[in-house]
Every structure is written in C-alpha cells, then in structure tokens.
Amino acid sequence: MPACRAVLDTNVVLAAQRATNPASPNREILDRWKLGEFALLYSADIINEYGEKLLEHGFSENDVRSYLALVRLLGERVDIAFFRLRRYPGDADDIAFVLCALNGNATHLDAVCGQAVAAPETVREYRMLLYGTGEHKGLDEAGRPLRRGFSAQQIQAVLERKGRLTRWQMLRCRVRYFSDGAALGTRAFINEIFAARREHFGAKRTSGARPLRGVDATGLFTMRDLRVDAIG
Amino acid sequence: MSITVELPPEMEERVRQIPDLKERVTAFLRDQADCEEWRQRRYSAKARTIAEESLAEAEALKAQGLGRGELFRRFFELHDRITRAL
C-alpha cells in the first residue's frame, strides 16, 4: 500500500492540454499514480464534483459515467465521517477536496485554491528519493564501488538540506529564473526595477523581489515567482 | 424520530462503554444531515444520478475481473480523449 495518500483537485485531473502533454506536471502526477507511488483518495462528493465539471463541458453521460467508474475502481474511497470544519475554504469548489483529505488522512492535497502542483516540492522529494536509494554498493580490490552511486557523505548532505540545490548545483541545471524570471539580483536591485516599472505589475503587488524556490540562494532574488519547473 | 441499529456482536460491548452515546450519535447525525443538505445544494440531480450509476458500472467492471493495468489503460484512453477536448 502506498505511503502517500493524495487528493487531486479537478483542475489537476482535468487540466486540458497540460494533462495530455507527457512533460506536464499534471500528467506526471497521473503517471506516478499509475506507478503506485500514491493512493488517489476520493469521496462521494469528489465523484460528484468531477462529474459536474465534465457535464458542464458537454461530455456525454456515457463518458462521464465510465470515467467516474474507473476513478472509483482505481482510487480509494473515503467516507465523510465529519463534515464540520473549523474554517471552510473561501472557494466552495475546494470544500469536497478538503473534507476528503481530512477524513481520509491524506498526506498530499494538490491544487486547492487553483494553484498548480508545487513543482519544487516534487523536485525536492525526487532528489531525496534519488539520493536515499542511490548509495554506491561494495568496493572492489582497488577501492572502487561495485555499484556506482553516491557516497554516504553526499547522501547525508542532500538529506540534511532536504533536497534543496546549492547555488553551484543549480548552475548545472536548466534554470527558468534566468529566462523567465524577468530580473535576477539582490532584493534592493529587484525592488528598484519594480519601482521603476510599477505600471507593468498588478495593483495588489507591493514589492518586486521574490525568493528562488528549490535552491539555497541566499541574497539572490527574482522578479517573477516561478512555481512550475523553475529548476529542472 | 427513533432509530434501531443492529450492531455487530464484536461492537456491542465496546459501544456500551460510551458514556454519552445518545449525544454523540445525535451530533454525528446532525453533521451528516448538514453534509447531505450541502451535497443536494451543490450538485445537480443529473450529476448525482450519473455518480450513482458510475458505482454500478464500477461493480460491473470489477465483476469482469479486469487487472489494474487494463483499468489504467482504459482510464488514460478516456482521460486523454476528454482532456484533449477541453
């Protein structure tokens, strides 16, 4: 039985083109579900929610029925034993998902409030998994590992850093902050650009500098808070 | 309104130990009634009917003895067709 128990919002499961593109985080989630990396939790209300959204989009009743039947068979049903929450989510669309997560002891709840999956979290978990299982095994007569992998010191370092990249490791990756981050530099530098180009930003935004996600980049900030595939 | 519930034998003795059973059952039922009212308001009759029918379809698929691999193949086939059309 998978250790992770996830509840997926409708916009993750049915994310239009993004969910059919093999490189999309949404698709990756579904593929990881298929691989048995987590149990997909659903409640009667989530089935209703998925069904309502599919009907709204004009899909045939047969397709909707079959889709829901397959979710029922492949997912794990959660009965809503307690309905009262101390505080309900602002968006009524999210209530069914929060109830299911709480009643079903979920470990992950994706896309509440319409946010996409936090890719840096996935990257961090992946790095920890990779280093956790990738230790080199045995040594030959010359002291070389029989199975190539990471040394105990390297593994310890990654686990202690909770999977975050160092600045130098980051430079060996594809870093979207360099292309899509708009500006990169100290907090003062980014805020200066923000003030100079204030008209390009929304009325609610009060500052320019945003920390880089998934990397220990003390003192380095970006203009755009990239949430998906920031570093890969 | 009064309800009679037949408890499984292994539960009977344990349930007898609950001091404020009546209050707890009432609180639980109040919660469930709230949940049901919310459910009725939130989802259309059509969506609820199809959701009910999907349970029967799931049972029918289960009875066919299809493996997890085949169920996922069908799921992704349908899923891809649906999401492409969104």
Cα(B29)–Cα(B41) distance, integer angstroms: 18
Contacts of A43 (CB under 8 A, 6+ apart): A77, A78, A79, A80, A96, A99, A100, A103, A104
Say whether pLDDT at B55 is over 90: yes
pLDDT value of position A115: 35
pLDDT value of position A214: 66
pLDDT value of position B16: 92
pLDDT value of position A123: 46
The shortest CB-CB distance from B54 to any of A17, A19, A69 is to A69
Q: Which chain B residue is nearest to residue A54, measuring alpha carbons?
A: B82
What end-to-end distance do the CA atoms of chain B give, in Å? 48
Enumerate helices (H) and strands (E) in chain A, giving the number of each. 11, 9
Cα(B82)–Cα(B9) distance, integer angstroms: 48
B40 min Cα distance to partner chain A (Å): 10
Mutation pick from B75, B77, B84 vs chain A, by most beta carbons of A within 10 Å, is B75
The shortest CB-CB distance from B55 to any of A20, A72, A80 is to A72
Residue type, A144: R
Contacts of A46 (CB under 8 A, 6+ apart): A7, A96, A97, A100
| β-strand partners of A230 | none
Q: If you average pLDDT over residues B70-85, what whole number do you get?
A: 91
What end-to-end distance do the CA atoms of chain A give, in Å? 29
pLDDT by residue for chain A (232 residues), tens digit each? 777 888 888 877 877 555 566 667 778 888 889 999 889 999 999 999 999 999 999 999 999 999 999 999 999 999 988 877 766 776 777 888 888 988 888 877 764 333 333 334 444 554 554 444 455 556 666 666 555 555 656 655 665 555 556 555 555 555 666 667 677 788 888 888 888 888 888 888 888 888 777 666 667 788 877 766 665 5
- Using a CB-CB cut-off of 8 Å, the residues of chain B touching A40 are none
Say whether pLDDT at B18 is over 70: yes
Q: If you average pLDDT over residues B15-34, what whole number do you get?
A: 90
Q: What is the pTM of this model?
A: 0.57
Q: Which chain B residue is nearest to residue A65, measuring alpha carbons?
A: B54
CA dist A36 → A32, A42, B15, B66 (Å): 6, 16, 37, 17
Cα(A138)–Cα(A201) distance, integer angstroms: 56
Contacts of B57 (CB under 8 A, 6+ apart): A65, A66, A68, A69
C-beta atoms of A74 and B75 within 8 A? yes
Cα(A51)–Cα(A64) distance, integer angstroms: 6
The pairing of strands A38-42 and A4-8 is parallel
Q: A121 or B86: whose pLDDT is higher?
A: B86
- Using a CB-CB cut-off of 8 Å, the residues of chain B touching A84 are 31, 34
- Using a CB-CB cut-off of 8 Å, the residues of chain B touching A19 are 79, 83
Q: What is the DSSP letter of B75?
A: H
Task: Give the DSSP letter string of A197-221.
Answer: TGGGS-TT-----EEPTTB--TT-E
Q: Are A183 and A210 in contact (CB under 8 A)?
A: no
ipTM of the complex: 0.78
